[in-house]
């Protein structure tokens, strides 16, 4: 058996504690699986007095995480501090510069600096592993970097934020409205005190940018991700969607087009019966389509102590087994430059909801506005309910139309006197059919 | 860049041809991903004159696959001949003995000889990879050997035979009977001329035995798998199941119990809305439950040129990247001996269907027989249809009961004069709830 792999863990939040627990509980098994023992040498966190329910006897405590990145007795730094800048970035950069392997769960860091970090890792011949950064317990990074290495990926659609999926599922099952359910989710610990990162779609966009780079062999391009959150989805939207045979999900979508890569995070109507429509609660899922493998769907828990720590351990075992590969499948020098596809030409059917004054001629005006934008209507629903300010909700489902046309229609409609505010526009995705 | 990895492919059926195609089409990408080129040096198949639509210029042809296992210029033998014995076994054994890595798609070989082959691989320090042997394009071996290495696996439920799933899905959607659909499946190439291996559940059992070994850290125990096929499922069963809110699927189930490991392949009623109920057509799926990760579900194509060749390539890239690990996660010396759980105590609700004479008192006799076996009834359905020989079909759904009791009830019932033949008994699985 080779000499032990010596670990330093920076950050003892939920995930860090989970990692320490598994290293202790599965010590012998992991040593047998990896061919060498995986030893926790040092940890670092803000508050050394805090009780965390873990045994740190014989483990060095560092108040400054940067010390781990410089320590001579550490082979792998596990960065669980979080954040795209500051200490987390410094720790990872220093560790790599010092020729240490790095394992991280930090999606923001990778979305913003992943390529330069990968380059640093390649220069030193060390591993830069981040399975825990995307979709928690789902081994999607491993699937893309290793399992599907022989495939050209055509598209990737994910449910990548458990908070949003939990809220939407609760809205669906209870009929309650967004704000209400969000408060509960916060009480349950499924949503942060400041939920904007999650419900605004930014967290999902970080993860999507990472997956899109792996899928399409281009440098990460977080800035090009089109992002919409779920804040505007109402209980009524979910009810209408259900009537039409759909669930509303926050999807993260990356597609290869002739013009480049389209990256989008937004709520979408997903057809019942398609793999992603059934993904409920805090679960995440990713549907990848490869030219050889066809459709592959992975579903599991996207967050939490156990699933995320499980992913970190998988990265550690890989390193202990001697696996060092290019962090983004091929060396960074082989990655193509980002190329943002022109979304205007992207086609989709749409769900459209707004409040309109219920008077003779208003519907004629509305439908004319749609026709002028070259949007053709598949169905119109005017439920009996009275909306606010004397207006009534109107729901349209359109035929497939270009995104540019839909945006124009949205603008036209919002200018009409009879229409209150900006219409809510949600894409209808066919879902990934089997 | 390191020196090339030199490949010999034994067997040029569908999968072998797929492997050769990908090696050519993705040559540069694979070299970049693996850090060295992957070179096809030699192939072997029965008929060298056959046109296969692949370019074998510069590739050595061997009429005898065993030559590949002995060749000095080959680092990896890819065994795609098939069969648990004969040439396939000899090629793999010889290759390992000669210190060559082996990649195989041969589930029968592994189900019967996997542990001794793994031992041979470990002794020589070479890789023995078999991602393509189970569930085609789904990276389930990688998930268990690497992604979930930190977990204790609690249970594993799979749809592992695409032929059966295709037939059951077709029966569901068209209302046609087993024999009819089987004929179509044969015409379409989804079922073999001799379909018994697939529809009889043996193929799924081979795969289950491999997955169970990986999941529970015990030597493969194919002989202990309880196997039932789908031959007795009728269109009526599928209709009844649908009425009750279930799909009928051929499930492969491995569970850890106090007494050991339970391994079962049989048709089951799976609740609508659970992840496996939605898996349709030729798709495969595996739902694994780990103590840290919770439920993880992987779904994809389980067979065919592209998906299976994609899995073979994933194994080759791993080897090219220098990854050599114990074939069954931990060294064979660490695997526990097989321990078959006592299935009699295994609890489940059941679906029960048989034909009975429709006369006063017959139902009293039937329900008494069930009561005597300690089987309690949740519901009885007596559809209006006339069965053959003047008898009418009767369908029971039972409450949870021990398998031993159910078997006793089945025997009691088949002895009743009013009951025709042996009742069909199908387990009702809760499905893997999220």
Share of chain B above pLDDT 90, in %: 88
Contact between A265 and A208 (Cβ < 8 Å): yes
- The predicted pLDDT at position B389 comes to 57
- The predicted pLDDT at position A389 comes to 57
Chain B residues touching residue A279 (CB < 8 angstroms): 434
Cβ–Cβ gap A30/B150 under 8 Å: yes
**Residue in B with minimal Cα distance to A323:** B323
Cβ–Cβ gap A297/B296 under 8 Å: no
What is the mean predicted confidence (pLDDT) over B332-349?
A: 91
User: B188-230 pLDDT, tens per residue?
Assistant: 888 888 999 999 999 999 999 999 999 999 999 999 999 999 9
- The predicted pLDDT at position A343 comes to 80
Best B130, B136, B149, B214 member to test A by mutation, with max A CBs in 10 Å, is B149
- The predicted pLDDT at position A368 comes to 94
Which pLDDT band, with edges at 50, 70 and 90, does A391 fall under? confident
Cβ–Cβ gap B142/A142 under 8 Å: yes
Chain A residues touching residue B327 (CB < 8 angstroms): none
| Nearest neighbour of A33 by CB, restricted to B131, B280, B329 | B329
- The predicted pLDDT at position B345 comes to 81
Can you tell me which residue has the tokens 């009728």? Answer: B234
- The predicted pLDDT at position A431 comes to 64
What is the mean predicted confidence (pLDDT) over A202-226?
A: 98
- The predicted pLDDT at position B359 comes to 84
Cβ–Cβ gap A29/B330 under 8 Å: yes
Which pLDDT band, with edges at 50, 70 and 90, does B385 fall under? low
Kindly provide the b/e burial profile for residues A194-221, where b requires at least 16 CB atoms within 10 angstroms of the residue's own CB. ebebbbbbbbbbbbbbbbbbbbbbbbbb
Task: From the candidates A207, A247, A249, A256, give the one annotated as an active-site residue.
Answer: A207
What is the mean predicted confidence (pLDDT) over A311-332?
A: 98
Q: DSSP letter at B46?
A: S
Mean pLDDT is lowest, of A82-86, A392-396, B106-110, for A392-396
Best B150, B277, B299 member to test A by mutation, with max A CBs in 10 Å, is B150
Chain A residues touching residue B217 (CB < 8 angstroms): 29
Chain B residues touching residue A324 (CB < 8 angstroms): 321-322
For residue B8, give Cα distances in angstroms to B73, B103, B316: 9, 10, 11
Kindly provide the b/e burial profile for residues B100-135, where b requires at least 16 CB atoms within 10 angstroms of the residue's own CB. bbbbbbbbbbbbbbbbebbbbbbebebbbbbbbbbb
Pairing of strands A5-10, A76-79: parallel
* Tokens at B18, concatenated: 């797929």
Residue A336 has pLDDT above 70, yes or no: yes
User: A258-305 pLDDT, tens per residue?
Assistant: 889 999 999 999 999 899 999 999 999 999 999 999 999 999 999 999
Residue B161 has pLDDT above 90, yes or no: yes
Please name the residue ranges forming H helices in A146-234: 162-174, 178-187, 196-199, 202-216
Best A147, A320, A331 member to test B by mutation, with max B CBs in 10 Å, is A147
Mean pLDDT is lowest, of A111-120, A294-303, A354-363, B275-284, for A354-363
- pLDDT: is A20 or A420 the higher one? A20
Which pLDDT band, with edges at 50, 70 and 90, does B360 fall under? confident
Which pLDDT band, with edges at 50, 70 and 90, does B109 fall under? very high
- The predicted pLDDT at position A55 comes to 93
What is the CATH code for B140-301?
A: 3.30.360.10
- The predicted pLDDT at position A275 comes to 92
Closest CA of chain A from B41, distance in Å: 19
Instruction: State yes or no: ipTM above 0.90.
Output: yes
Topology, domain A142-301:
Dihydrodipicolinate Reductase; domain 2 (3.30.360)
Q: Supply the pTM of this predicted model.
A: 0.96
What is the mean predicted confidence (pLDDT) over A232-255?
A: 96
The answer for residues whose C-beta is within 8 angstroms of residue B198's C-beta and 6 or more apart is B161, B163, B164, B191, B192
What is the average pLDDT value for chain B, to the nearest integer? 94
Contact between A81 and A92 (Cβ < 8 Å): no
Chain A residues touching residue B137 (CB < 8 angstroms): 290, 292-294, 296
* Tokens at B54, concatenated: 């692949």
Chain B residues touching residue A327 (CB < 8 angstroms): none
Cβ–Cβ gap A273/B278 under 8 Å: yes
B336 in catalytic set: no
Strand-by-strand arrangement of the B5-10 sheet: B60-62, B38-44, B5-10, B76-79, B101-104, B128-129
Residue B34 has pLDDT above 90, yes or no: yes
User: A57-103 pLDDT, tens per residue?
Assistant: 999 999 999 999 999 999 999 999 999 999 999 999 999 999 999 99
What is the mean predicted confidence (pLDDT) over B105-123?
A: 98
DSSP A84-125: SSHHHHHHHHHHHHTT-EEEE--HHHHHHHHHHHHHHHHHHT
Residue A433 has pLDDT above 90, yes or no: no
Chain A residues touching residue B22 (CB < 8 angstroms): 150, 292
Can you tell me which residue has the tokens 């926790």? Answer: A40
Mean pLDDT is lowest, of A39-43, A333-337, B358-362, for B358-362
Dist CA A317 CA B104 (whole Å): 24
CATH class of B347-429: alpha beta
Contact between B253 and B225 (Cβ < 8 Å): no
Task: From the candidates B107, B207, B247, B249, give the one annotated as an active-site residue.
Answer: B207
Residue B386 has pLDDT above 70, yes or no: no
End-to-end CA distance of chain B: 45
User: B177-194 pLDDT, tens per residue?
Assistant: 999 999 999 998 888 889
Contact between B43 and B8 (Cβ < 8 Å): yes
CB-defined contacts A:B, below 8 A: 190
User: B118-144 pLDDT, tens per residue?
Assistant: 999 999 999 999 999 999 999 999 999
Best B2, B34, B300, B308 member to test A by mutation, with max A CBs in 10 Å, is B300
Dist CA B340 CA B92 (whole Å): 29
- CATH topology match: A5-133 vs A343-429: no
Which pLDDT band, with edges at 50, 70 and 90, does B358 fall under? confident
| Nearest neighbour of A146 by CB, restricted to B278, B297, B314 | B314
Closest CA of chain B from A133, distance in Å: 14
Which pLDDT band, with edges at 50, 70 and 90, does A386 fall under? low
CA B224 to chain centre: 15
User: B41-100 pLDDT, tens per residue?
Assistant: 999 999 888 999 999 999 999 999 999 999 999 999 999 999 999 999 999 999 999 999
Closest CA of chain B from A29, distance in Å: 8
What is the mean predicted confidence (pLDDT) over B266-285?
A: 95
The domain segmentation of chain B, as residue ranges, is 5-133, 140-301, 347-429
- In CATH terms, the superfamily for domain A5-133 is NAD(P)-binding Rossmann-like Domain (3.40.50.720)
**Residue in A with minimal Cα distance to B302:** A293
- The predicted pLDDT at position B1 comes to 59
Residue A163 has pLDDT above 90, yes or no: yes
Residue A381 has pLDDT above 60, yes or no: yes
What is the mean predicted confidence (pLDDT) over A113-130?
A: 98
Closest CA of chain A from B343, distance in Å: 28
What is the average pLDDT value for chain A, to the nearest integer? 94
What is the CATH code for A343-429?
A: 3.30.70.260
Mean pLDDT is lowest, of A334-338, A385-389, B51-55, B345-349, for A385-389
Cβ–Cβ gap A273/B273 under 8 Å: no
């Amino acid at each position: 058996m080779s000499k032990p792999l010596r670990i330093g863990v920076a950050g003892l939040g939920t995930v860090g504690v989970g990692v320490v627990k598994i290293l202790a509980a599965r010590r012998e098994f992991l040593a047998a699986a990896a061919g060498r023992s995986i030893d926790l040498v040092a940890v670092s966190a803000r508050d050394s007095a805090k009780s965390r329910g873990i045994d740190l006897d014989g483990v060095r405590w560092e108040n400054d995480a940067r010390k781990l990145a410089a320590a001579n007795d550490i082979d792998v730094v596990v960065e669980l501090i979080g954040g795209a800048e500051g200490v987390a970035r410094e720790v990872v950069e220093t560790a790599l510069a010092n020729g240490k392997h790095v394992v991280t769960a930090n999606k923001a860091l990778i979305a913003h600096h992943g390529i330069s970090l990968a380059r640093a890792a390649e220069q030193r011949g060390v591993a830069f592993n981040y399975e825990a950064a995307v979709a928690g317990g789902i081994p999607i990074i491993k699937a893309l970097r290793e399992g599907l290495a022989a495939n050209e990926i055509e598209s990737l659609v994910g449910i990548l934020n458990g908070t949003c999926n939990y809220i939407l599922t609760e809205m669906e099952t209870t009929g309650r409205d967004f704000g209400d359910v969000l408060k509960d989710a916060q009480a349950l610990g499924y949503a942060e005190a400041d939920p904007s990162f999650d419900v605004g779609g930014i967290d999902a966009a970080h993860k999507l940018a990472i997956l899109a780079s792996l899928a399409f062999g281009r440098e990460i391009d977080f800035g090009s991700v089109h992002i919409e959150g779920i804040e505007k989805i109402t209980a009524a939207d979910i009810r209408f969607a259900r009537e039409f045979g759909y669930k509303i999900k926050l999807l993260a979508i990356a597609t290869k087009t002739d013009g480049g890569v389209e990256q989008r995070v937004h709520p979408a109507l997903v057809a019942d019966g398609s793999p992603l429509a059934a993904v409920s609660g805090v679960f995440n899922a990713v549907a990848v389509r490869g030219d050889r493998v066809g459709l592959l769907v992975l579903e599991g828990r996207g967050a939490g102590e156990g699933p995320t720590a499980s992913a970190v351990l998988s990265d550690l075992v890989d390193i202990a087994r001697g696996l060092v590969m290019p962090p983004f499948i091929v060396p960074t020098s082989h990655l193509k430059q980002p190329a943002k596809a022109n979304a205007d030409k992207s086609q989709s059917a749409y769900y459209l909801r707004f409040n309109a004054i219920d008077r003779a001629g208003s519907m004629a005006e509305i439908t004319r506005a749609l026709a002028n934008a070259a949007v053709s209507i598949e169905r119109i629903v005017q439920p009996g309910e009275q909306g606010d300010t004397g207006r009534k909700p109107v729901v349209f489902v359109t035929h497939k139309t270009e995104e540019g046309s839909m945006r124009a229609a949205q603008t036209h409609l919002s200018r009409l006197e009879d229409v209150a505010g900006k219409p809510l526009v949600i894409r209808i995705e066919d879902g990934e059919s089997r």
